[in-house]
Amino acid sequence: MTFGPTWNNLLDNVDALPSDATLVTPLSSKAFGIEDVQEHRVLIQYRDDDETIPLQQAQFETLYERVSEAHGEFDIDRLPPDAEPYATVLSLHPRFEIDDRAGTLTESEQSTGSPLVEAQSGSEEPDETEREEPDLDVYADALLLIDALERHDLTTLDAVDTPALVNIYTLLSDVQRNANDLRKDVRSVLLDRLHHDQPVSGQFGSVQRTTRRNRSLKDDELVLNAFESAGIDRERLTTVDSNKVDEALDVTELSESDVYDIEPSEYVRKADVDEQKKETRLQGLKDQLEATEGEEADELREEIDELEDRIAELTEFRSGRSFHDSSAGG
């Protein structure tokens, strides 16, 4: 099948987008818009740049051929950095679809559309691409930690002054605690959605449901009686110790359930981590932060400074004299 009909269909769909539609590149998550649709190219502009970039028909045809050669499923990690917008725009065609979790551009007769296109229906509606601060403790702590890590060179910890280390240690502790609390909440929801031995993948890794056996010794007298009936003298188990119990189990026909209360518990464990995807996403976030300008960036920096001052007050060392002086003054 020639690319001509596909190209004309694609142009029709691109031309039908609202003028303020926002598209996103699949790997670096950079936002851009369509500036113009011409016979042999599509003009785009990144939201953080004034330069207009032409996407040529010939390059779209090359990408189309690559998808066909991959039997309808092309790994978008193979795209050069400057070719990411081609995949996003091609996914506007009704037969092409990007799965940003699987990292693929696929051709199918049942495409559900691109998840990387956010069309705005009017100027009065809020911009759905704006980043909003989530109401989570770990988010604020993580922002402070990132800022602290950027301010200090931690490659040589001995060279960092004590107050800075105190602040960083405090933030690391807070991030760990709050992240673990959130992790437990997420885990409880995932347990209802996962099946045994069936890993579920996301963009950065995969998890699976697993059963853990929790053992606790039964009543001491019950354990001693069980082993005595099996020919083990009480003197060998004067005090019930799990190590001694396990040794005794090895030389008797008693089962674990005779002396242990065993309760299985379900949990989610990390099965795999895709470090390359994490690095790609992290670089995209860095690019977005570097491009942040104006009042929004200034307000964010002010909020970070205020939070840092509050942390500094909480972690500041006060001598007994200053404490008594302040108490007397109050």
In this prediction the pTM is 0.40
- Whether residue 124 is predicted with pLDDT greater than 50 in this model: the reply is no
- Whether residue 78 is predicted with pLDDT greater than 90 in this model: the reply is no
Q: pLDDT digit string (tens) for 207-217?
A: 777 777 777 77
Q: Which residue has the higher pLDDT, 312 or 257?
A: 257
Q: How many CB atoms lie within 10 A of CB 139?
A: 14
Give, in degrees to the nearest 5, the angle at Cα 78 between 72 and 83. 95
Percent of the chain past pLDDT 70, that is, above it, reads 68
Q: How many CB atoms lie within 10 A of CB 267?
A: 13
Query: How large is the average pLDDT for residues 23-49?
Result: 89
Enumerate residues 6+ apart whose C-beta is below 8 A from 64.
Answer: 3, 6, 90
Enumerate residues 6+ apart whose C-beta is below 8 A from 207.
Answer: 190, 194, 199, 200, 268, 269, 270, 271
| CA–CA separation, 144 and 125 (whole Å) | 32
Which of the four pLDDT bands, split at 50, 70 and 90, describes residue 315?
very low
Output the CA torsion sign for 205, 94, 69, 66: negative
The closest alpha carbon to 67, from 146, 154, 137, 1, belongs to 1
- What average pLDDT does the structure give for the chain? 76
- Whether residue 270 is predicted with pLDDT greater than 60 in this model: the reply is no
| CA–CA separation, 197 and 214 (whole Å) | 19
- Bridge partners for 99 per DSSP: 104
Q: How many CB atoms lie within 10 A of CB 168?
A: 19
Query: How large is the average pLDDT for residues 155-176?
Result: 88
Look at residue 79 in the predicted model and tell me its pLDDT: 86
